[in-house]
Amino acid sequence: MSVYESELVSELVVEEREFAADGVLALTLRHPLGEELPAWEPGAHVDVVLGPDLERQYSLCGDPADRTAWRIAVLREPDGRGGSAYVHEQLGRGDKLRVRGPRNHFALRPARRYRFIAGGIGITPILPMLAAAEAAGAEWSLLYGGRTRRSMAFTEELSGYGDRVTIAPQDETGLLDLASVLDGLPEGTLVHCCGPGPLLDAVEARCPAGALHVERFAPKVQEVGQNTEFEVELARSGRTLSVPADMSVLDAVRGAGVEVLFSCTEGTCGTCETDVLEGDPDHRDSVLSDEEREAGETMLICVSRCRGKRLVLDL
Ligand code: FES
Q: By C-alpha distance, which of 103, 109, 126, 99 is closest to 29?
A: 99
Question: Distance from the CA of 299 to the center of ligand 1, in angstroms?
Answer: 10
Contact yes or no for 43/118 (Cβ under 8 A): no
Q: What are the pLDDT digits (tens) for 21-67?
A: 999 999 999 999 999 999 999 999 999 988 777 888 999 999 999 99
Q: Choose which residue among 217, 265, 286, 298 to substitute to test ligand 1 binding: the one with the highest number of ligand atoms within 8 A of its C-beta.
A: 265
Ligand 1 atom at shortest distance from the alpha carbon of 302: 4
Q: Is the pLDDT of residue 9 over 80?
A: no
Cis peptide before 78 (omega within 30 of 0): no
Q: What are the pLDDT digits (tens) for 121-141?
A: 999 999 999 999 999 999 999
Give, rounded to a whole angstrom, the gap between the first and last alpha carbons of the chain. Answer: 12
238: left (phi over 0), alpha (psi -120 to 50) or beta: left
Q: Is the pLDDT of residue 200 over 70?
A: yes
Question: Distance from the CA of 197 to the center of ligand 1, in angstroms?
Answer: 17
Ligand 1: residues with CB < 6 A are 262-265, 267-272, 285, 287, 300, 302
Q: What are the pLDDT digits (tens) for 151-178?
A: 999 999 999 999 999 999 999 999 999 9
Q: What are the pLDDT digits (tens) for 84-115?
A: 999 999 999 999 999 998 999 999 999 999 99
Question: Distance from the CA of 270 to the center of ligand 1, in angstroms?
Answer: 5
Q: What are the pLDDT digits (tens) for 258-280?
A: 989 898 899 999 999 999 999 99
Length of the chain: 315
How many whole angstroms separate alpha carbon 304 and alpha carbon 219? 12
Position 4 scores a pLDDT of 36
pLDDT confidence of 7, banded at 50, 70, 90? low
Q: Choose which residue among 106, 216, 272, 286 to substitute to test ligand 1 binding: the one with the highest number of ligand atoms within 8 A of its C-beta.
A: 272
Buried b or exposed e, range 122-159, using 16+ CB within 10 angstroms:
bbbbbbbbbbbbeeeebebbbbbbbeeeebbbbbeebe
Query: What are the CA-CA distances from residue 312 to residues 76, 231, 308 (Å)?
Result: 41, 8, 12
Query: What are the CA-CA distances from residue 203 to residues 87, 171, 247, 259 (Å)?
Result: 31, 20, 33, 38
How many whole angstroms separate alpha carbon 213 and alpha carbon 229? 33
Q: What are the pLDDT digits (tens) for 201-254?
A: 999 999 987 899 999 888 888 888 899 999 999 999 889 999 999 999 999 999
Position 223 scores a pLDDT of 86
How many whole angstroms separate alpha carbon 72 and alpha carbon 61? 6
The SS3 of residue 57 is strand
Q: By C-alpha distance, which of 125, 124, 50 is closest to 91?
A: 50
Question: Distance from the CA of 218 to the center of ligand 1, in angstroms?
Answer: 11
Apex 217 CA angle, 273 and 25, nearest 5: 125
**% the chain with pLDDT above 70:** 97
Q: Strands of the chain (E only): list them.
A: 9-21, 24-30, 45-51, 54-59, 70-75, 96-103, 113-119, 139-146, 165-169, 189-195, 212-216, 230-234, 239-243, 273-278, 281-282, 298-300, 305-306, 310-313
Q: By C-alpha distance, which of 299, 314, 304 is closest to 258?
A: 314
The SS3 of residue 213 is strand
